[in-house]
Amino acid sequence: MDEENKRRLAMALAGALARTEWPVLNISPTDRMARETLDVLEQYRHIQEVAEFLRDFYADPGHTDSRLWHYMKRKYQYGVNLQGPEQLDLLFTQVLSNKQSKVYHPGVRYQILSPDDCWLAAIEPTGFRVSLMEPSTAKLKKLGEPLCLIQDLIV
């Protein structure tokens, strides 16, 4: 990796660590996948955070906070024990700031894999947080060779 690419990557990582912004999603309530999630969330409407999310979502589904959408899906659709959306931020930050995390650049965005291979974080070159995935073995194989480790960027 040349110095210019290294600089771009470092800027993207620094941005994602500093700003903790997630993108705004334009979700159609009639979309098959969205419908599946929303139907599950309706079952939990008696919980305040779900009721508030649904209220805000239906008021403007075109401007849905990606972090909240991730949180609602993980917690209520897939039963993950999360205390709040900030836990996703914490996970994201842990992946990006771990010196042993591996960085991949398969396309436009960077993907950063935690040292234990449990979490794969995607970030925009501009530093926006995109998504946090749990990579499967097949996905890990497909990632190929990492561009570098986070520690390679530390001077």
Partner 1 sequence: MDNCRSERLSGYHELVHYALPFGEGPGLSAIRDKIDHLDLTPEEMREVAELDEIVIEELSYRDWIDDYVLRDDPAQPLSHWWWHLGQLRAGTYPAELLPKHLREIYQQNSTQVAEIGYSGG
Residues that bind partner 1 (CB under 8 A): 23, 25, 31-33, 66, 70, 73, 78-80, 104, 106-109, 111, 120, 122, 130-143
Identify which of residues 83 and 137 has a Cβ nearer to partner 1 in the complex: 137
Identify which of residues 25 and 149 has a Cβ nearer to partner 1 in the complex: 25
Residue 65 three-state SS? strand
Identify which of residues 48 and 83 has a Cβ nearer to partner 1 in the complex: 83
> Which pair of tokens denotes residue 97?
């700031």
Q: How far is the CB of 145 from partner 1 (least distance, A)?
A: 13
Q: Which of 66, 94, 96, 91 is nearest to 81 (CA)?
A: 91
User: Taking every pair of C-alpha atoms in the chain, what is the biggest distance, in angstroms?
Assistant: 54
Phi, psi of 146 (to 5 degrees): -70, 155
